[in-house]
Amino acid sequence: MKKTLLTAALVAGFASAAHAETSVTLYGLVDGGVGYNTQKTTWSGDFGSGSFKNRGFEFKNGVKNGNRWGLKGTEDLGNGTSAIFQLESGFDLGNGTQAQRDGNRDRLFGRKAIVGLTGESWGTLTLGRQYNAADDFVAPIDPFGTGWGQAAVGSAFGGSVSARYDNVVKYVTPNFSGFQLGLGWTGDNNKQTYRNDTYGTDWDAENKSNGFTFGLGYNNGPIQVGASFDYLRTKNTFTGTPDVDTKVKVWNLGFAYDFDVVKLHLMYGQQNDGAIGGIGLAEDIALPDFVGGVDYLGDFIAVDGYRQKSWLLGLSAPVTEAGKVYFSYTGNNIKNKDLFDGKVTSNIFNLGYLHSLSKRTSVYAVASYGQSKLKTSSVLGYKLDGQAKLKSTEVVLGLQHRF
């Protein structure tokens, strides 16, 4: 009997020690709701006149935050250093399919897939598919962050403040009295050579992509400040065709101050010679393609010569112990003189409410109205006067549970 009790105590002790050194956590969130949305584009000018409308009352999937599940873990290596990993997969609550896709390929852990080392004294080093530095330091300054449907920061800033990159090596410093810095590099290089000695049909192809992401932030007391800069270069060469060489440059700034009664949020940013993760609401402007369908503005505008300026003014305030209200006005101004003489201007107004039922469960409501206007006098050097206007409305009532 005594041996049995001793054995049980030893097993329990070893189990506790192992648990203290290594841990793996299953986590996630489930978010869904119902809502109404409508988008209508009207156009007129040298390319004719007409309209395109899309509307519906429907089930909404992952509005406040994208649905996800994941695994994350740590192992204590001693001397204040731990090994870490995180695998995170997105999914559609409405039909159960994977959310992140690349062409015909589904990404099992498309939201995040990293392994790394972390230490309280020296910081965190991670490798794999992960977010840019702006997601760490700038995106949280928007009162709606990267969620809430059309109210999200991406409707005006595109994906520049929260972009996922493949093949990333990223380092983030420890927190020094509220100050932190992050730096990452991403790259890929693929070469192909074909030689046909019989027919003489030879060709060479090379696809190169590389870039870096940089960010810094300060978050202490009522003050929150964030800044980021991303540079991405993609070069594609193929025998007999012109080289494609794009160099996208993006920077963003954010500032927030908490007055206790209300919190003020401010952001400003620019994208040059291309866009990261889309151009925002203006991407949905539908234009006639003269063969019975529509083309969307974002399909061709975000290339060399592209210039986008984006801004945000927001407020957030607690109204009860469990409830909080959010407001933001966001907008952007887009030009590309290499393609057309003209501009695109967007203005978006958002109002949201979040009520916490518990630490893990909440209900929310959001209403968003946006407009994007396109005016042009020439395209690719040819006179083409025209204008287009997009009106977009989204209203959603949703429920979210975290685990």
Sign of the alpha-carbon dihedral angle for 53, 56, 59, 62: positive
Range in 39-43, 239-243, 267-271, 375-379 the model is least confident about? 239-243
46 CB contacts (<8 Å, ≥6 apart)? Answer: 383, 384, 385, 386
Q: Tokens for 352?
A: 């949201």
Instruction: State yes or no: pLDDT of 27 exceeds 90.
Output: yes
Q: Report the 10 Å Cβ neighbour count for 305.
A: 15
| 201 or 138, greater pLDDT | 138
Sign of the CA dihedral with 317 first, then 266, 233, and 245 last: positive
pLDDT > 70? residue 186: yes
With beta carbons less than 8 A apart as the criterion, state whether 188 and 235 touch: no
- Interval 273-300: pLDDT, tens: 999 988 999 999 988 775 556 778 876 7
Contact 275, 303 (CB under 8 A): no
Higher pLDDT: 288 or 128? It is: 128
Q: Give the span between the Cα atoms of 156 and 162, in whole angstroms.
A: 12
Q: Is 133 in a helix, a strand, or coil?
A: helix
Instruction: Quote the pTM value.
Output: 0.87
SS3 assignment, position 9: helix
**Which has the closest alpha carbon to 89: 164, 147, 149?**
164
Tokens of 98: 């994977």
% residues pLDDT > 70 (the chain): 93
Q: Which residues pair with 236 in a beta bridge?
A: 207, 244
User: To which residue do tokens 């648990």 refer?
Assistant: 19
Nearest of 368, 364, 296, 286 to residue 331 by alpha carbon = 368
- CA 11 vs. chain centroid, Å, equals 46
Q: What is the pLDDT of residues 161-182, one digit of tens each?
A: 999 999 999 999 999 999 999 9
Q: How far is CA 187 from the centre of its chain?
A: 19
Token pair belonging to 317 = 């305030």
Would the pLDDT of 221 be above 90?
yes
Please give the pLDDT value at position 299.
Answer: 65
Mean per-residue pLDDT over the chain, rounded: 90
DSSP symbol at 135? H
Would you say residue 70 has pLDDT above 70? yes
Looking at the predicted structure, is the pLDDT value of residue 4 above 70? no
Q: Which two tokens stand for residue 359?
A: 């630490």
| Domains of the chain by start residue, with CATH | 27-402 (2.40.160.10)
